[in-house]
Structure formats: structure tokens, C-alpha cells
Amino acid sequence: MTLLIQYTLIFASVLLLVALGGCFSEHSGVINLGLEGIMVLGALGGALAMKYVPSTVPAIVMIFVVSLCAILMGMLYSALLGVAAIHFKADQTLIGTAMNIMSTAAATVIVKAINVAENPDNISSAITYTGARAAFTVRLGNFEFNWFILIAVCALIISNIVLYYTRFGLRLMACGENPQAADSVGINVYKMRWAGVLISGLLGGLGGIVYITAGVSEWKFEVGVAGFGFLALAVMIFGQWKPKRIALAALLFGFFRALSNVYTGFPFLAALNIPSTVYNMFPYIISLIVLAFTSRNSAAPKAEGIPYDKGSR
């Protein structure tokens, strides 16, 4: 049971961070289907930091540096979406799809190039960070607490305050609902949409490094992040683009994802002799069922996915 709670919280933290990122982007009016790709590049930035930063540095320094590198990589990659969708008014769905395809390939090539440069016989796409990973966890009895869980909770609180209790958040949401009306009162729609996209990159990149350090000390980038970016989109939609509801949805989906890791520890589940692959499919099956019944009543921002034209009214 302890392991189930532990994995539920860490996977829920990943989904919460990435879904909140998508929430900011879509509230600004830009659909970010590239969250999966942003997670991969954010994970790459954080993993490289863990590889090269000495594991002897204080834990707080390691957490800060790794998080900062993941954030910067996520924001840099999300800027591709900003340029294409905001300035060139390209189809946002196609951009996000392209970002997802390109990210895993790019990360794999980069990691293999680094490994070959260090050892010509090593053509692996994996980065090992055994010593550095210890900085992110603290043992509380039988429970292993990950500091990223606390970061995710802080992100939830800050996101809720920013969206509903600050001028910036209200302006951001106005641009996703009626950008022409927002522009008429002096709000720079382009700047607000850029802010939403970059915030999604910040949180998506952070979610990527949390995911790959959840339970392993090495990551092969050719496997990407196993569809967690798409799962985060389902969490965002199920949560109706509201931070508090997104948090509850993240816990639900995180629970089913965690179940695939620890089901052998529950005799009544192990006795069913269900293949492990079925348990791995649970969160994605649940997402399809949930979206089938809830998407019709979803309250998405009215102007999401529509390129803003300053001249139109």
C-alpha cells in the first residue's frame, strides 16, 4: 500500500505539472499538443544536468540546477510552437504533432552523440544519473518522499492564484475567450499568448524530468515518456481547464498508472493472472472512457486553436 501511494503521488505530480502547462497555453488561446515533446526535451536538459553536475553538491543545489535546465529546455522547445502558431498562424494541431515526433528523435541523436564522444563503443541512448537522483528523495520510514511532489503542489497553488486572482491571469484567459474584445481594451494578445506558451514549456519541461526520475536511475530517450504528454491533455480536459479539478483528475489517473507498477504486491490482483501490459494500459483506457463521457460538456476556451488576426472583428 505504501508503494501504491508513493507511485500515485509521483505520477500525479507529473500529470499535474504538464496538465497545468497545457491549461495556461489553452487559456491564452493556443492548443499545445506538443506537451509530449516538451516533456522529452525537458527531461533531456535535466538528465544532462544530473550527468555533469557533481553528485557531491548539496541536494538543494542539485534540485535547483536540474529543475532550471529542464525548465529552460522546455521553454526553448515550446518557443517553436509560439513562432509557428502565433506569428505564422500555422495549424496548431500539426505543429504539436510535429514537435512530438521530432523530440524523441532529436533527444536520441543528441544522447548517442554524447555517449559516442565519451566512449566510441557506447552507442546507447541512455543517460545514467544514479548518484544525482538521490538528491530528489528523502526516506520517511517506508515511504520515499520525492521533493518534486512538493514542487507540484506549489505549482498548483500558484497557478490557481495567478489565473483567478491576478491581472495577468484574467487577461490571459480573456485572450483565450475573446481576443478581439481583449485587444479593444488594450491587452496585447500576442504577448499573452506567448506567455501562455512559454509557461506551458516551463511546466512541461519540469514534468519531463520528474517523470524520468520517478523510479529509475537511467533513462533511454528512444522510449520517450510513454504517452504521458497525451495523458496530461486528458487530465486537463477532464479537469475542465481548472487547476483544482486538474489536481483531482491527476490523482485519479496517477492511481491507475501506479497500479501497473505495484499490482504484484496485492495478492487478489496477482491471483487474477492479468498480464502486466493490461495494467500498463489502464490509465489510457480510463482516459478514453472518461473523455467519451465528458468531452461533450467540456468548457474549453472559446478561441483556443484559432489564430489571432488583429484586423478581424
Read off the pLDDT of residues 25-78 as tens digits, 9 standing for 90 and up. 999 999 999 999 999 999 999 999 999 999 889 999 999 999 999 999 999 999
DSSP state for residue 139 in the 8-state scheme: E
- β-pair partners for 139: 144
So what's the pLDDT on residue 313? 59
**Where is pLDDT greater, at 221 or 292?**
221
What is the share, in percent, of the chain residues with pLDDT greater than 90?
71
So what's the pLDDT on residue 160? 97
So what's the pLDDT on residue 265? 63
So what's the pLDDT on residue 269? 65
pLDDT interval class at 311 (50, 70, 90): low
Measured CA distances, 69 to 14, 58, 145, 245, 310 (Å): 17, 17, 22, 29, 35
**Where is pLDDT greater, at 290 or 313?**
290
Question: What does the mean pLDDT of the chain come to?
Answer: 91
So what's the pLDDT on residue 139? 84
So what's the pLDDT on residue 85? 95
Average pLDDT over residues 124-133: 86
- Asked whether the predicted pLDDT for residue 312 surpasses 70, the reply is no
Single-letter code of the amino acid located at 117: A
Compute CA 173 distance to the chain's CA centroid, rounded to the nearest angstrom. Answer: 20
Average pLDDT over residues 277-288: 82
So what's the pLDDT on residue 9? 94
So what's the pLDDT on residue 230? 93
**Where is pLDDT greater, at 5 or 311?**
5
So what's the pLDDT on residue 92? 95
So what's the pLDDT on residue 275? 74
Average pLDDT over residues 182-186: 93
Average pLDDT over residues 209-223: 89
Nearest to 228 by CA among 199, 206, 243: 206
- Asked whether the predicted pLDDT for residue 298 surpasses 80, the reply is no
Residue 22 CA to residue 269 CA, distance in Å, equals 34
- Asked whether the predicted pLDDT for residue 267 surpasses 70, the reply is no
So what's the pLDDT on residue 283? 82
Enter the pTM of the model.
0.94
Which phi and psi angles does 81 have, rounded to 5°?
-65, -40
Nearest to 179 by CA among 78, 93, 82, 306: 306
Average pLDDT over residues 77-92: 95
- Asked whether the predicted pLDDT for residue 294 surpasses 80, the reply is no
